[in-house]
Structure 1
């Protein structure tokens, strides 16, 4: 009998020692809330969740080193534009379909998709929107024609002391909503993923979008020298009525005492929405982890739920990736405005070839707004330059 008890105790000890543990790498903002959720998961499922803080800039490089050896975190929290590189190297595991997927914004899911497969659970989005000073613009314009009309009235009324509208005139990130809204694209989306050899930055839609920018310059609403610093400082000082900027700027405007509002960027034409770049944060599973099935279960059956996502929002208040979570925070008009803008948007391409795009497009826009090249010439040359760098 005593021998049996010893064997039984030994078996129990081995089970306890062999009990799997999930390790999560995340940046500082997610640590507290994920630790609390991990404790709840352990209480319910008996699985320990260890949350480790890693500087955001170091998560991907550290994971690239550790994961091929079957080491490192079981789950990482990071940006969607890591997905292409990590998926190609076989380091993150596809997420199978689960019932709650229908409740996520399509933009957020597309951001974590590669080659027709979902490689992460998105929890937060980021995109630019129209920010307006209510002292000059009580209600936001619905179309760009309305914006232009309001901006001209303000320019005339205040004699240049207050600008009606400003954005960063020669910066691709801020002009992309015009290009994408009219049908331009960076890389063609196919069933197998992004085709980096099919670049749509000089197609008919892209040309039409940049011509809208040129119109704003030609009609004196934008100045070729307008940049982020000018836009941001003038709005903060109450000298700009409308700008296009992101949620990162809001605190400074609040601190400055600006009575502002946030709304989606006006339609380019009635029924033609502007489509900004969207950045998405989410959870990815280490494909080499011995605990990957448990990690997927943790994400799909616990983290991805409405209640959990809402608590993550409360702990790290960014634009929610679930539509029903937005309903829970609809009393925050800033979050609603930016989220609706993001819902119209295009995920930043999650492939390394995107690095070749920025300088080429910024230079093209600079030439256009300064009258040194036609829209068609500038965009054609930019695409040729991007293709050359990719090749």
Structure 2
């Protein structure tokens, strides 16, 4: 997930830096035209972004210096307060809270790109109402269907798919559930894993809110009709190859095109796969999770002579031009809406369209606890292993999870 930014307010900072930077003219010019990026990619061979950025940067007289770090986030947090480290950091949106808390990244302004990204996409990089990252691509789940053996799900309800000959599948461990995938169902009852305000996620769990009774009753009475593929991605892909509809992500779209050992069905061609919106089980808008990648600007940039160059690079990675090039290089789904509409791979484009209302996944340090407690509660309700009413059982589990959060 990557980057963005337009309209950096750097004129004063650049003027100040120009007066304070003591160097030969050639050194000053070089410093002003060099932008350093830190990446968590293993090496240059596995980095499909820097070559695209570097080629464009040359046309602007800018040199891109990409450095690969194994523990890139931790090293960035350590280096920046001492005025060291890169100008830009690239990574997943769920680093934002920690980076902002450490004071090592600066807010960015989208400028002319303001209408290029959905509000949900921007929320992944937003803390206390301020945007800190430039989004470049995303991943989210959608409804994947087998054109070879099933019928087009367009216009069909959630219940229609569940009761169809092919059936509907959602991954779920018998004990721990799968709250990531099932969030798409919960959201259709008006629930989100955490509540949200204008800044994005709060730390208050949302599955105990209005709609919890309806969702819990759905789990108790209807969820057993949903196919639960045997544990493992191979079995899920095999289920899709046999004709079932499945709620999953681009990784499943790709895997369904592989030959699965022990599966009686043949691999699907990309032309035999379709991507559609997830229908609403509860009648409300579906908000599945998304993962967004992007770029952050180091808090030290404003005082540097290359601030203008850094701003240009940020604006470029947020552009449709860059994101389309990245899509062709790595099958990434753009978040710039113009790039998303211009994609030639219609299935990948459909993932992006299906995820237009997706919420970037929360990034709190206590997420493992939340996933475990919520998933276990959902699995228990589906299995009929609950006490009291399904709604009461779910709310008690959420209260226990909230107590665990509040003590951290």
| SS of residue matched to 2:278 | coil
Q: Are 2:47 and 1:31 aligned?
A: yes
8 Å contact from structure 2 (residues 171, 236) kept in 1: no
1:109 positional shift: 0.9
> Which structure 2 residues correspond to residues 187-266 of structure 1 after superposition, within 5 A?
187-196=194-203, 198-218=204-224, 220-222=225-227, 227-229=231-233, 231-235=235-239, 238-256=241-259, 257-258=267-268, 259-266=272-279
Structure 1: how far apart are the matches of 2:370 and 2:395? 13
| SS of residue matched to 2:105 | coil
8 Å contact from structure 2 (residues 123, 199) kept in 1: no
8 Å contact from structure 2 (residues 188, 282) kept in 1: no
Q: 1:193 to 1:148 in 2, by over 3 A?
A: closer
Q: Are 2:298 and 1:294 aligned?
A: no
Structure 2: how far apart are the matches of 1:51 and 1:78? 14
1:228 positional shift: 4.7
Structure 2: how far apart are the matches of 1:378 and 1:210? 8
8 Å contact from structure 2 (residues 150, 243) kept in 1: no
1:184 positional shift: 1.0
8 Å contact from structure 1 (residues 166, 226) kept in 2: no
Greater shift after overlay, 380-389 or 111-120?
380-389
8 Å contact from structure 1 (residues 86, 92) kept in 2: yes
TM-score (structure 2 length as normaliser): 0.80
Match of 2:290 in 1: 278
Q: 1:309 to 1:135 in 2, by over 3 A?
A: closer
Q: Which has the higher contact order (CA 8 A, sep 6+)?
A: 2
The equivalent position to 2:98 in structure 1, one of 85, 89, 92, is: 85
Match of 1:319 in 2: 333
Q: Are 2:193 and 1:179 aligned?
A: no
| SS of residue matched to 2:149 | coil
Q: 1:179 to 1:32 in 2, by over 3 A?
A: closer
Give the RMSD, CA atoms, in angstroms.
Answer: 2.6
Structure 2: how far apart are the matches of 1:135 and 1:35? 38
Which has a greater percent of helix?
1
Q: 1:173 to 1:110 in 2, by over 3 A?
A: same
1:128 positional shift: 1.0
8 Å contact from structure 2 (residues 187, 285) kept in 1: no
Match of 1:305 in 2: 319
The equivalent position to 1:147 in structure 2, one of 157, 161, 165, is: 161
Structure 2: how far apart are the matches of 1:17 and 1:234? 55
> Which structure 2 residues correspond to residues 358-373 of structure 1 after superposition, within 5 A?
358-373=371-386
Match of 1:346 in 2: 359
Deviations along 1:169-214, whole A, 9 cap, x unmatched? 3210111011122221222222355331x32112222443343333
| SS of residue matched to 2:195 | strand
1:326 positional shift: 1.4
8 Å contact from structure 1 (residues 95, 118) kept in 2: yes
The equivalent position to 2:120 in structure 1, one of 92, 102, 107, is: 107
Q: Which ranges in structure 2 are unaligned for 5 or more consecutive residues? A: 1-22, 260-266
1:323 positional shift: 1.2
Match of 2:396 in 1: 381
Q: 1:295 to 1:105 in 2, by over 3 A?
A: farther
1:315 positional shift: 2.2
Q: 1:139 to 1:233 in 2, by over 3 A?
A: closer
1:296 positional shift: 5.0
1:108 positional shift: 1.2
Greater shift after overlay, 358-367 or 138-147?
138-147
Match of 1:4 in 2: none
